[in-house]
Amino acid sequence: MGEPHRIGIVGTGWICGAYLQTLRDHPAVAIAAVADLDPARAASVAASVPGCRALSPGDLLRDDSITTILNLTVPAAHAEIGLGAIKNGHPLYGEKPLTADMTSARTLIDQARDHGVAVGCAPDTVLGTGVQTGRAAVDSGLIGRPLSAVAVMATPGPERWHHQPGFYYQPGGGPLLDMGPYYLTALVHLLGPIVAVTGAASRQRAWRVIGSGPRSGERIPVTVDTHVTGVLHHANGALSTITTSFDAVRTTAAPIEVHGETGTLEVPDPNNFTGDVRLFALGTTDWQTLPPSAGYAEASRGIGLLDMLTSAAPRAGGTLALHVLDAMTALQRSADEGRRIDLTTTAERPAPLPLVPATTWRRP
């Protein structure tokens, strides 16, 4: 198998722990260094990983002993860290969204091409058995020709549980850019690329109140829309509707439903790797739960990075992330301007996955 692929992580907040659960003991990679604006936090994480060093972000990006940069910073820093990695010749895998705006995202993808380095981007949850089993069902014709889909993400907002939720309500955050990548990426896997969008949005509150942690009770400003809904026009003629909201208490809606000529498919939460896929076929009287048939079994955060290291065309790749960001920013622009917006990017559906047992991907 050779020497492990050396990874440097920038950003050691909450999501870093989820990635470490997958990557820390994986034989194909080694966490060589971590960096954070909080040196003490970086040092704490480094101490939990054998052979790992705590560096400053700049030193980590310039370290030639590191091969790939894993960017787990807040969205506002995605472009700066990503471009720094690429400038120093490092392949890049980052958290979603790709960047906070299309201008910097295009620059990042162009620079990666010019430097000959790969770019990958979350979400990789869609590579689990939940969305991939749903995709396999669509591709095998279980619902006939797909005609439409409905995607719903509705919560009261992250300030109830997150100790530092301010970035969720700043540019690069909001329910659309924070949670939309899961749902839009899943819809591209299920139905293919998007050609145009029509959106509407609202922002009903100027402040949110932190509900837990040392800053509990503190007010934070809201500078982005907190309820965004819209219609996605897919290249194959299907129409999807999407709602992302930090203004709802609860919903009974399925995370994703795909409607075809001969059946409806219920697809589980694309923010998770697993979940039941259910089929209601035309002429039947009840839902049928489909057994997992595709995707990485028992997957967790970081599987997209592992896939990128072993695939000529990463399934959680930068081109797809750019297309999803294009759709999200176009939805916001459509809401602002009150008109349909044609997208300026496209992306092929990533290659389908067979059912990959955990014993296979964890111990290649």
Do 136 and 104 lie in one domain? The reply is no
Residues 205 and 333 in one domain: yes
Q: In what order do the strands lie in the sheet with 146-154?
A: 288-290, 277-281, 263-267, 256-260, 146-154, 239-245, 227-234, 194-202, 341-342
**What CATH number does residue 161 fall under?**
3.30.360.10
**Residue where a domain stops, chosen among 70, 92, 121:** 121
- 171-199 b/e (C-beta count within 10 Å ≥ 16 → b): ebbbbbbbbbbbbbbbbbbbbbbbebbbb
Per-residue pLDDT tens digits for 71-83 = 999 999 999 999 9
* CATH code (residue 59): 3.40.50.720
Reported as a single tens digit per residue, the pLDDT across 310-329 is: 988 999 999 999 999 999 99
| Domain tally, the chain | 2
For the record, the structure tokens of 258 come out as 């795909």
Residue ending a domain, choose from 121, 146, 178? 121
Which of 70, 104, 121 is at the close of a domain? 121
pLDDT digits (tens, 9 = 90+) for 108-150: 999 999 999 999 999 999 999 999 999 999 999 999 999 999 9
Range of 289's domain?
125-297+317-355
Please check whether residue 165 lies inside any domain of the structure: yes
- Reported pTM: 0.96
